Every structure is written in structure tokens, then in C-alpha cells.
A and B are shown apart, each in its own frame.
Chain A
Amino acid sequence: MSVRLAGVAIFMIAALYTWYGRDYTASFGDVLGPSVFPMIVGIPAMILSASLVVFPTGQVAWPDRSHMLRQVAALAILLGYAFLLLPLGFPLATFGLIAGMGIVLGGSPVKAIILGALFAPALWALFDQVLGLPLAVLGRWFS
């Protein structure tokens, strides 16, 4: 079932891709133009994904609810990091990332917090001070 659904999703993407690709018009002196290659890619993708809907292969074992919750939590932490990196600054955001991921991955909360507290400033020192990548200590919200 999962393979069929994936086939449908890929088919829709490929169809949209092909549909949009039609309209890219050729400029002067460019024989093939910018829309032929998307056709060459999009149409076989439509055919193959359609065949996957009709003749699916393989079984997918999805994780159970508790594991899926942990995956969602991990994604929330990762996305949170992407949104909060600039407002919070590197050390604080990274502390949250390491401690949060440590807990989600099954470490004990105390140990995960200690890990974050050690590594967040250490990584900041390594990248900002030693390697010269500018990483703000305190973000937008503090200045």
C-alpha cells in the first residue's frame, strides 16, 4: 500500500513538473530550449511511477506509534533549531539541539543536558574562534 501511495505522490509531482516545464520558452539561438529536458525527465518519471502504482514491489514496515512520536519530536527539534539559530545565537540554540536530541535518542535527561552544556560552547569555540566561521554568541533577541 505504501509503495502504491508513494507511486501516486511521485506521479503527481512528475505530472506537475512536466506541466510547468512545457511553458519554458526557447530563447534565440538555443535549438533545444529550456523545456525539452524537463519533458525527457518528467514523462518517464510519470510512466515509472504509474507502473509502481499498478505493480508495486516490496513491503514497508513503518515504525509503531511511540517510535513515530520520537521521530516527530526529533524533526520538531531540528526545525526549531533552524528557526531559532539566529534569534537565540549559536551556543544557546546548539545546547537545545544537543540536549533535546540526546533525550529523544534515549539518553538520560541529566546526561543529555550535561552533553549539550559541554559541547555547545566547545563547538562554538572550535568553529568561531579556531576556524573563523562567524557564529553569533547571542542572537537577535538579546541585542
Chain B
Amino acid sequence: METFSLLAHGFAVALTPLNIALLLLGCFAGTLIGALPGLGPVNGVAILIPLTFAFGFDATSSLILLSSVYFGCMYGGRISSILLNIPGDEPAVMTTLDGYPMAQQGRAADALAISGVASFFGATVAVIGLTLFAPMLARMAIYFGPADYFALYILAFITIGGIAGVDPRKTLISALLGLMIATMGLDPISGIPRYTFDNYHLYDGIDAIVALVGLFAISEILMLLEKAAKDRAKPIGIDSWIPDFRTIWTTKWAILRGSVVGFVAGVLPGAGASLGSVMSYSMEKQASDKDDTFGKGDPRGVAAPEAGNNAASGGALIPMLSLGVPGSGTTAVMLAMLISLNVQPGPLLFERQPDLVWGLVASLYLGNVALLILNLPMIGIFSRLMMVPTWALMPIVAAVSFVGVFSISNSTFDLELMIIFGVLGYLLRKLDVSLVPLVLGLLLGGDMERNLRRAMSISDGDWGVLIASPISVTLYVLTVLFLGLSIWLTMRDHKRMQSRTMEG
């Protein structure tokens, strides 16, 4: 019951004219950013953060703007997946598998409508989950001491790379590099400068937002320059935007299953929306691919991953808000913004700033409705805007990133730093090293060290304090299990790869 009154209060916050305007703007901009190939949610949100500073909004309004951009991106990613066979962002990869074949068969309107409806349900399930579970998690997290937080951060670094795929060592190295960067600047406890190379610009440490915009936006430009400069493929033309509602109805179970699977994947720290959509697609394929129609334009193959990635992106907000540990790259970027605005996410956030938390939750409910309305009839507009060529889009993205970063401290040193981070991000991406752990290390490094030192001060130098509480022991056990699982999966993939090359 208490949750309902808090939520009602949240709606009062979200329904102020400024916040409604930001919500609609964010939904529109987000859908567009998601639809444009090359600009994913992380980039979109990273570029917009300096702008929200420029506007001078308070934390609640900024967070509403960025969250609606985030949710909008998840909706928008499917448009280019279906019409161009190019995923607008990483989580939309799975949507190309059945979405593009549907468009080729002249069922683009159905595919777009199904993905819009699935996105709406997935995101709504996630927001309901957020309403119910985030306060519960926050209440539990009140009991966390410094040593428990230290253990939680370690768990986050181990899990952020996701379960399958890349070499876990690379993920860990990425996190450690982030932690190294986080220690640059004046040590918060003793006040001595560390790794500043006597450069006074570095005494404050490296601004996370400068690093983020460089890592994501600048490295994306370098990635784009690798590809041939020729123009993109023409999208599939569409005669009618009116979908067949019976087809949508047939995907209801796929949507439901995808939403639940995606939500669970999103709540796990680090897994994020990409894993959510991959898991929902493969589960749905196992559950209902009886006639071998998946991959050839099955509507359920569009519905499940779309529901999954939207549910996951909402779920990823739960650990970010209630523990201060983001569940995905984009929520990590949002965390950076909150820290810059002097808002510390974590269990106390729910007590101290209920306006912010519940205003955000309420605006997510509203944003979903707005996105559904925006996305069904206005799909034609987005599909035309999507055709802005890269050579025109990316220079403007670069210019806006520069202004935003410059506005943080009015120094060109930050611009140089941003370019250096861009090159670093590009090299790491080429080496298959995920940037998200690095960002997480950069963001959480300070707190991780402070908690460790606080715990050690309490115990007067006894390292045993780190495993003295049941909470920290549980977290370490989870960490070891997760690490074991990911090493096992990597070894298995490696073996499979080898046997495959032997056969070939």
C-alpha cells in the first residue's frame, strides 16, 4: 500500500509541464537515436548528459529525460533492424533475424507493429517489477556495511561482462583499467595526489563524463571509418502502415515469455539488454519453433526479443537505483550523470529523495504509453529520418559531444582527454574488450576504495573483516560461482570452435 501512495506522489512529480515536455522530447529523440544505425543507447545518453547540464535541470528532470531517451532507444532500435537489416543498437540484433525476412515478404507493417506492442509490454512488465522490487532491494541493502559493499562491487565487476562470449580475462582487465583511472587525482581520505604527473588538471581526477563521451562517441566514429564509405542500403519500401491485429494477437505468449526472461536478465548486474534479447529469442525458439519457421519471418521471433530487450533495460534500472551498481552500459552512463549531480544512488536514495525515485518510476509508466502512441502511427516519420546519411550525422554528433564536454569545465584539456579516451576505446573494442566494465570501474572505483578503507579502519587493520558478515560471504560465493561458470563456458566455446575448425 505504501508503494501505491509513493507512486501516486511520483505521478504528481512526473506530471509537471516541464517533466512532461522532457518526457515527450526524450521519447522522440530516443526513438530516433535508437533507429539511426551507429548511435546506440549508450552513445545517445552519453552525448545528452552534458546537454542536460547545459540546460540546468535538476536531477529528477535530467533523469526523466535520460530514461525516456533510454527507453526510446530500445523502441527505435527495431526500426532499422526490420527495414534495413542493420540493428540500430546492439540489443536489436536478434530482431533482424525474423524482422527483416518479414519485411522482405511485405509484412513490414506487421513486424513494426508487433515489435512496438512487444516493446510496450516488455517495458511495462519491467516498470511494474521496478515498482515492486526496487524498494524491497533497497530495504535489504540498508543492512550492507562497508565490507559488504566492497564484496558487492567485486561481484559487479565479475558479472558485468555477461556470461557467455568474450574471454573473462579481458573483461577483468577492462574493469581493472577503469579502477586504475579512478585512483587518479587527490586521494579522498589522505589528500595526497596520486598518478597526477604533477599536472594540475588531473588533481580532480578524470571526469567520468569526459571519459564516457570519448570512449563511446569518439570510438564509434573511428569504428565507422573502418567501413567502406558507400551509402547505406535502401530500406524496404512499404505501401501500408496498417498492421493486421490478428497477427499481433498470435504473438501474445511469445511477448509474455520474452518479457519475463528479459526482466530477469536485466536485473542481474551487468547482463543488460543485449543478453535479455538473446535469451528471450533462444528460449522462444526452443519453446515454439515446431515448424522450423524461425529465422524466416516468424512474428514470434520478432515479438520475443523485443519484449526481452525492453524488459531487460527496465530491469537494469533496479540495481542501479537501489544498490548504486548499474546493470548495463547505459545505466552505468546514467549513474555517472547522477553522481555528477551529487545524487548518490543506493538504498538511502529511496528515503532521502523519494521525489526523484518515484518521479522517475511514474515517468517510465507514462513514457511507455507515449512511446507506444508515438511509435505506431508515426513510424513512417522515423523511417524517413533514419535515412540521414552517416557523413552528415556523425560530424554533428561530434560537434555536440565537444560542446557538451567543453561546457563541463570550459577547458580544452578535457577535449584532448576525450580524444585520448576515444582512441583507447577504439583499441579496446578492436581487441574484443568490453568498455562497460571499464566505465563501471571508473565510476565505482572511488567508492570501492573508500568502503575497503572504512572497513579496515573499523577492524583496525584486520583483513578478516572482509568475510566477517554473512552478506559479504554470500556475495563472494556468488562471485566465485559466476566466475567458474563463465570460465567453463569460455572453455567450452573454445573447444567447440577448435573442433569446428578441425572439421572444416
Query: Interface of A with B (CB < 8 Å)?
Result: 2-3, 6, 10, 13-14, 17, 20-21, 24-27, 30-34, 37-38, 40-42, 44-45, 48-49, 51-52, 57-58, 60, 62-63, 67, 70-71, 74-75, 78-79, 81-83, 85-86, 90, 94, 97-107, 111-112, 115-116, 119-120, 123, 127, 131-135
Question: Given A10-B177, A32-B461, do A58 and B190 touch, yes or no (CB 8 Å)?
Answer: no
A24 to B456, CA, bound (A): 18
The contact sample of 17 A-B pairs, CB cut-off 8 A, is: A3-B431, A6-B431, A17-B195, A30-B190, A30-B453, A32-B456, A32-B457, A32-B461, A37-B453, A67-B225, A71-B222, A86-B412, A102-B391, A111-B392, A112-B391, A127-B407, A135-B403
* B289 beta carbon closer than 8 Å to chain A: no
- A48's partner among B169, B194, B389, B390 (CB-CB below 8 A) is B169
- B419's partner among A2, A40, A75, A105 (CB-CB below 8 A) is A75
Inter-subunit contact A85/B173 (CB<8 Å): no
Q: Which residues of A contact B252 (CB under 8 A)?
A: none
Inter-subunit contact A105/B222 (CB<8 Å): no
Q: Mark B155-194, 1 if CB is under 8 A from A, else 0.
A: 0000000000011011011001101100100010111101
Inter-subunit contact B176/A14 (CB<8 Å): yes
Query: Interface of B with A (CB < 8 Å)?
Result: 54-55, 166-167, 169-170, 172-173, 176-177, 179-180, 183, 187, 189-192, 194-195, 218, 221-222, 224-227, 229-230, 389-392, 394-396, 398-400, 402-403, 406-407, 410, 412, 415-416, 419, 422-423, 427, 430-432, 448-449, 452-453, 456-457, 460-461, 494
Question: Given A20-B195, A31-B453, A123-B400, do A48 and B412 touch, yes or no (CB 8 Å)?
Answer: no
Q: Which residues of A contact B398 (CB under 8 A)?
A: 78, 97-98, 101
Give the distance to chain B from A84, nearest Cβ to Cβ, in Å. 9
Inter-subunit contact A78/B225 (CB<8 Å): no
A123 to B448, CA, bound (A): 40
For the complex of A and B, list the 6 residue pairs with the smallest distance between their C-beta atoms, beginning with the closest: A106-B229, A107-B391, A101-B395, A82-B415, A105-B391, A45-B176
Q: Main SS of chain A's interface residues?
A: helix
For residue A112, which residue of chain B has the nearest CB?
B391
Q: Which residues of B contact A112 (CB under 8 A)?
A: 391, 395
- A37's partner among B396, B430, B452 (CB-CB below 8 A) is B452
Give the distance to chain B from A119, nearest Cβ to Cβ, in Å. 6
Inter-subunit contact B423/A60 (CB<8 Å): no
Q: Which residues of A contact B494 (CB under 8 A)?
A: 57
CB contacts between A and B, total, < 8 Å: 186
Question: Given A74-B222, A82-B412, A107-B392, do A33 and B190 touch, yes or no (CB 8 Å)?
Answer: yes
Q: Main SS of chain B's interface residues?
A: helix
Q: Which residues of B contact A44 (CB under 8 A)?
A: 172, 176
Inter-subunit contact B55/A131 (CB<8 Å): yes
A44 to B180, CA, bound (A): 12
A74 to B192, CA, bound (A): 38
A51 to B167, CA, bound (A): 12
Inter-subunit contact B192/A34 (CB<8 Å): yes
Q: Which residues of A contact B180 (CB under 8 A)?
A: 13-14, 17, 38, 41-42, 45
Q: Which residues of B contact A25 (CB under 8 A)?
A: 192
- A105's partner among B166, B225, B432 (CB-CB below 8 A) is B225
Q: Which residues of A contact B167 (CB under 8 A)?
A: 57-58
Inter-subunit contact A116/B395 (CB<8 Å): yes
Contacts beyond the supplied A14-B176, A83-B412, A115-B396: 16 A-B pairs with Cβ under 8 Å: A17-B180, A17-B195, A24-B187, A30-B189, A32-B453, A34-B189, A37-B452, A38-B183, A41-B179, A52-B169, A63-B226, A70-B225, A74-B221, A82-B416, A102-B391, A119-B399
A129 to B176, CA, bound (A): 42
Q: Which residues of B contact A127 (CB under 8 A)?
A: 54, 403, 407
A45 to B445, CA, bound (A): 15
- A97's partner among B176, B402, B448 (CB-CB below 8 A) is B402
Give the distance to chain A from B153, nearest Cβ to Cβ, in Å. 12
Q: Which residues of A contact B191 (CB under 8 A)?
A: 27
Inter-subunit contact A123/B176 (CB<8 Å): no
Question: Given A31-B457, A131-B54, do A51 and B190 touch, yes or no (CB 8 Å)?
Answer: no
